[in-house]
Homo-oligomer: A and B are copies of this chain.
Amino acid sequence: MEPGSRGAAPGGVSVSAVLPAGGSGERLGGATPKQFCVVQGRPLVSYAVRAMERISWISDIIVVVSPENIETMKTIIEKYGHKRVTVVEGGITRHRSIFNGLKVFAENEFSSHLLQKPEVVIIHDAVRPFVEEDIVSKVVMAAKEHGAAGAIRPLVSTVIASATDGCLDHSLERARYRASEMPQAFLFDIIYEAYQQCTDYDLDYGTECLHLALKYCKTNAKLIEGTADLWKVTYKRDLYAAESIIKDNLSQQVCVITSEKETLAQVGFLLPESLKSQIKVEAISISPSKNDSRLQNIISGQCYNFVCVNDKRCAIQETQEIVDVLEKSNIALLCPVVLISVHLDISENNSFSIGVDDLSTMKKFARETKKKNILVYGLLIQYKDPLLLQETVNSAAALIMALIKDRNPELIGQLLVA
């Protein structure tokens, strides 16, 4: 479902979300707080916002950031077209920031327009980019029933308590404990009451909302086993992992577009077949300028990879037509789109060569297109010996997969040869 068309919340409750994004990211070891670190061209916080925004039954998304990052956050919302988001100034600790986020629903002074108080409020993290609707829905339903709920995961390492001398005091039996993760959800009145009652010590040193609901409202949160993708980006290695997972997610599907020309028929058939063992393939044979509805549907279905098979050597024009369609669709607004322009060398002689001027034209074109977040690469398939065509096509498919998986912006405009 598209954001904007609101679906029904689980259990028919009204739901909003608060994303604390005020952390300094000191464990990451960089100058940029981790929620603003850029992964595949987009700050991490935008992924978390998008994950909430995609859930149509979440009414408002409150992002709480430190005062110095308010403008940055507003720019991010503008640039990536996020909807239903309100930016709120955070406090000096996590709990104080969440409390500020909640106040938007309850106290006039914290927002120019008081947002409608939800029955259930989700609390998630700006640095957990991969949350799925299913777990959010489960946590919300459990919160409606129990007053509070949170996702948990098995412990990866044994947890130990140290004595004052720096030696082991005791170790916890791993199976009896869980790691508390996000998302969590609460009946708004319960978590707001807890924050109003809690002490300055809680607000300054606490980190666990479930604990506050228990301590101040006697609400034992329901614990929901979450999936492995709920993890929090904490260290630099987590940024690497996030980058790889995002690339993986973008590399699930490719659309192979062939013009309706006889010379291309064989490659237009063999190439999708060869790709099919590695990726989901949609093959269409169209003139892109006709504004084909199949292509539109494929783009709407979140396909981020396109292969355009041409019979001219550097047929910028046909590639440009695909770029125009992609640009109009806004698909590249959130994630880079890969567009591989495949050229067939159907010359009979053996002394075929690539003109450096053609290469320069291609590189210039790719540099312009990159500004639209579309990464264009060239790929030449030699069609000298029909007996070797299958092998060449397989080699082309391997190069296409490498380009799709890597999404390397430095290699745009290069012409690879299969």
Contacts and interface: CB of A to CB of B under 8 A. Distances in A.
Contacts of A92: none
B356 A355 contact: no
A180 B157 contact: yes
A233 to B, nearest CB: 10
Contact of A356 (B29, B157, B382, B410): B382
Contact of A214 (B155, B168, B238): B168
Interface residues of A, number: 79
A251 to B, nearest CB: 13
A168 B153 CA distance: 13
A158 interface: yes
A220 B152 contact: no
Contacts of A359: 417
Contacts of A27: 228
A198 to B, nearest CB: 14
Interface stretch (A4-12, A16-24, A346-354): A346-354
Interface in A215-267: 220-223, 228, 231-232, 234-238, 240-245
Interface string A334-363: 000000000001000011111111010001
Contacts of A167: 146, 220-223
Contacts of A148: 168
Report which residue of A163, A171, A353 has the largest number of chain B beta carbons within 10 angstroms of its beta carbon: A171
Interface string A184-222: 000000000000000000000101101100100000111
Given A159-B178, A160-B210, A177-B161, A411 B399 contact: yes
Contact of A160 (B157, B180, B205, B245): B180
Given A159-B172, A411-B399, A237 B243 contact: no
B156 A207 contact: no
Given A345-B356, A356-B345, A159 B155 contact: yes
Interface of A: 27, 29, 146, 148, 150, 152-153, 155-163, 166-172, 174-181, 205, 207-208, 210-211, 214, 220-223, 228, 231-232, 234-238, 240-245, 345, 350-357, 359, 363, 382, 398-399, 401-402, 406, 408, 410-411, 414-417
